[in-house]
Structure 1
């Protein structure tokens, strides 16, 4: 497939972004749930695969959810918190009528809860689902560091003002990326995912 090398480069850049943007925390480890939820990765992959089989476009949407969550307050799943139009990150300009796949993450969380109740954070489920979306779309595999804790409060203001929005011009998008320590290469790598 002629586009595969370009897709691989894009996937590599996204993986690099996620590793650098999320940061390496000594408390996070790929084996975090090894004893408490040993089938977690298999369960998430199966559900992501099922979702992609139903709608192939959902793979990009799940990656985008993770990106948008991490862009505001780090990867804490605050994007998934429900609320009203003045409190939930779901209703900010960068997410409203744009971010999608919430129901897939909800479904995965339900299946995970049936497997190992009260153990796995939504933030980790979102990170694993994003990785599996890339992998199942022909991109590379990487180990996801786990052990994130879910945010308890959405950051409506941070999401409204900090997240690149569909109507932002290029200079504004570059500035928003720079505000979180990212550069022009990151803008190019992720701008198709905004």
Structure 2
């Protein structure tokens, strides 16, 4: 078994080891230096005050950062409010986001310490990291120096869909400079968080319009989901990683391998050689590399289409342009 595991890891490295390069930027962990002393400590302490009381916030804050970066880049535009309800946060996929109060609390603390210095985009990137760490997940050094965008449009929200197959997902990620490894690794964020019956009812009751379920799902898993979701139930919550939803670990890949992926976007990771190989490697290795892989992919995600230099601004309040 040890030889088999080693062989799988060697093959995996050879297949996924080459990353798509992202344009270099001025982002660096020490960007603020003496401009704002103890910035990391302030962000961590405030974030933990919220997440340790309500651990489920970690999943939403991580998702918020992901949704921000996939629309106009990591510029904090997901945080902007609109009186006309036409900003990114008003779009259907973002209506279930929670934790905006955490970002506001961190920003308030930083403004008190060093007014007009730290961007909301950087705050969101650090809060996502510290929220994951607070529930036992990995820690990574967040490169800083992003500036905040001034535009947030509901019409521009085009996020990877839970109903997409792996071909579409690979294109979604490639369009943002992220590769196949980043796709499967970041899908591992589904190890925490919840969804609802509304997004899976069609998969378990009427997948092709003939009263059937998606054959990509384990029959036993379908039976378990049907006990939770009636055909007309759109509100009951479901764990995204059954059996390990409160712990940030590699168990998600075990669930996917067992055909217990909640979304089509989870199950479809078994349909591609590269993504399937990563799933199986994490299963047989007990997730030996997932923490580091996730950290590396989060750093790459945080560099997508950023604003630096004189572009954008440093918002005083994250919900409003200056």
- The bucket for the TM-score relative to the shorter chain is 0.7 to 0.9
Quick check: 2:20–2:179 contact (8 Å CA) kept in 1?
Answer: no
Question: TM-score by structure 2 length?
Answer: 0.48
How large is the Cα RMSD of the aligned pairs?
A: 2.4
Whose relative contact order is higher, 1 or 2, with alpha carbons under 8 Å and at least 6 apart? 1
Larger mean CA deviation between 77-86 and 101-110 belongs to 77-86
Any stretches of 5+ residues in structure 2 without a counterpart?
A: 1-18, 191-322
CA distance in 2, matches of 1:131, 1:190: 13
Give the corresponding residue for 2:156: 158
Quick check: 2:67–2:159 contact (8 Å CA) kept in 1?
Answer: yes
- 1:28 deviates by 1.2
- 1:145 deviates by 0.8
- Please identify the structure whose Cα radius of gyration is greater: 2
What is the aligned length?
A: 171
Give the corresponding residue for 2:118: 120
Question: TM-score by structure 1 length?
Answer: 0.77
CA distance in 2, matches of 1:180, 1:73: 10
- 1:141 deviates by 2.0
Give the corresponding residue for 2:108: 110
- Name the SS for the 1:35 alignment partner: helix
Give the corresponding residue for 1:189: 185
- 1:94 deviates by 2.1
CA distance in 1, matches of 2:21, 2:127: 17
Q: Alpha carbons of 1:31 and 1:183: their partners in 2 closer, same or farther (altered >3 Å)?
A: closer
After superposition, residues 131-170 of structure 1 pair within 5 angstroms as 131-159=129-157, 162-166=158-162, 168-170=163-165
Stretches of 4+ moved more than 6 A in 1? 19-22
Q: Alpha carbons of 1:178 and 1:32: their partners in 2 closer, same or farther (altered >3 Å)?
A: closer
CA distance in 1, matches of 2:92, 2:173: 16
Give the corresponding residue for 1:61: 60
- 1:68 deviates by 0.8
Is 2:94 the partner of 1:95?
yes
Quick check: 2:81–2:89 contact (8 Å CA) kept in 1?
Answer: yes
Q: Alpha carbons of 1:63 and 1:20: their partners in 2 closer, same or farther (altered >3 Å)?
A: farther
- 1:84 deviates by 4.2
